[in-house]
Amino acid sequence: MSKGKEKVSNKQFRWLPPMHETMLRILAQEAHKGNKPSSTFKAGSFALVAKEITAQFGVECHPSYVENRMRTLRTMWSTIQTIRKKSGFGWDDNLKMIICDPKTYQEEVMAHRKHAEFLNKKIEMYDELAIVVGKDTATGGFSKSGVDLEHEPHNADESAEYVADNVEEDVVEKGKNTVESSTTGSGISKSRKRKHSVSNADESVLTDLSDQLKEIAVALKEINRGPVDYTALYNEVMTMMADGYSEDMLATAFDHLCENEKTARGFLAKNARLRKLWLDSFLFTQL
């Protein structure tokens, strides 16, 4: 063992966010090389990750640590997919974010407190996670996961329900086309007219939501070009006193944002409604 590298046991090894990202990046590349022949990787892939983490972070990492970390990632992936399939939750594929309204958010967090970390927040390295622990084939680019494919609509009834529960524009369009094409024969029934009307209303709402998220994406790109303006950040946080938050609460949130640059950038990119959602989630975790 080289000088300066800390020897730790499996139980003591702490996976820091940069280590997590390094692991996902390397394993996604390994999958593209064909080193994930089934649901798991070849032993050499785990050894490669361990070697790279040891070299980069100066902490001795063993392949067994990587293999154990895979269990955590599979649990994380399972949780994300479970939430995505629930009624009331949508998915923005550009931001890699599970989205929901405040009422749905509160109900979900009250029932499953740890799910807050996956709601209305970008899931970092989602595509790589899909390759590493999902059912993606990893050929040519990040393909659609097996979980998504298993839940594609197959008939008119499924399509109507799928449209109501999903915010992806391409899924909305697919569901609407399926409903329309399935009702042929002797004219347009009243039932079909009602479905068409509901579909149009849903599509209008979802289109507005998608436009808002696109605006956030553009804002994120602008914000990421330079350092965080912490004076501006402080002013933006404190303006939320008008929404009924105390100065002490907002000061705590500001301190947290200062310690997490990515989160701070995301906060500045959000509109007023999404900022309140984030703040409610943060304050809930402090209880």
DSSP string of 74-85? HHHHHHHHHHHT
**Lowest mean per-residue pLDDT among 132-136, 183-187, 238-242:** 183-187
- Tell me the Ramachandran region of residue 138: left when phi exceeds 0, alpha when psi lies from -120 to 50, beta otherwise: left
Return d(Cα 179, Cα 273) in angstroms, integer.
33
The alpha carbon torsion through 267, 270, 276, 279 (nearest 10 deg) reads -20
Crossing angle between the packed helical segments 190-223 and 156-165, to the nearest 10 degrees: 40
The pLDDT value recorded for residue 96 is 92
Burial 227-251 (b: 16+ CB within 10 A, else e): ebeeeebeebbeebeeeebeeebbe
Which of 257 and 153 is assigned the larger pLDDT? 257
- The H-or-E segment that residue 90 falls in is strand 90-92
pLDDT at 19: 92
Looking at every residue in the chain, the average pLDDT score rounds to 75
pLDDT of residue 39: 78
- At 158 the pLDDT is 36
* Predicted confidence (pLDDT) per residue in 152-198, tens digit: 333 333 333 333 333 333 433 444 444 444 444 444 444 454 545 44
> Could you say which DSSP state residue 139 is in?
S
Give me the mean pLDDT over the 214-237 stretch. 72
CB 152 within 8 A of CB 168: no
Angle at which helices 272-285 and 261-269 cross, to 10°? 140
Q: Are 73 and 132 in contact (CB under 8 A)?
A: yes
Q: What is the predicted pLDDT for the residue at 170?
A: 43
Residue 97 clears pLDDT 60, i.e. is over it: yes
- Alpha-carbon distance of 257 to 66, in angstroms, equals 30
User: Looking at the predicted structure, is the pLDDT value of residue 48 above 90?
Assistant: yes
Q: Considering the chain, what percentage of its residues have pLDDT values greater than 70?
A: 64
Count CA atoms within 13 Å of residue 150 on its CB side: 9
What pLDDT is stored for residue 243 in this prediction?
Answer: 84
Q: Identify the sign of the CA torsion 63, 65, 71, 77.
A: negative
Instruction: Label residue 139 by pLDDT band (50, 70, 90).
Output: very low
Instruction: Report whether pLDDT(286) > 70.
Output: yes
State the pLDDT at residue 145: 40
CB 282 within 8 A of CB 248: no
The Cα–Cα gap between 213 and 80 comes to 19
Task: Give the mean pLDDT of 189-212.
Answer: 57
Position 83 pLDDT exceeds 90: yes
Q: Is the pLDDT of residue 88 over 70?
A: yes
Q: For 5, which DSSP code?
A: P
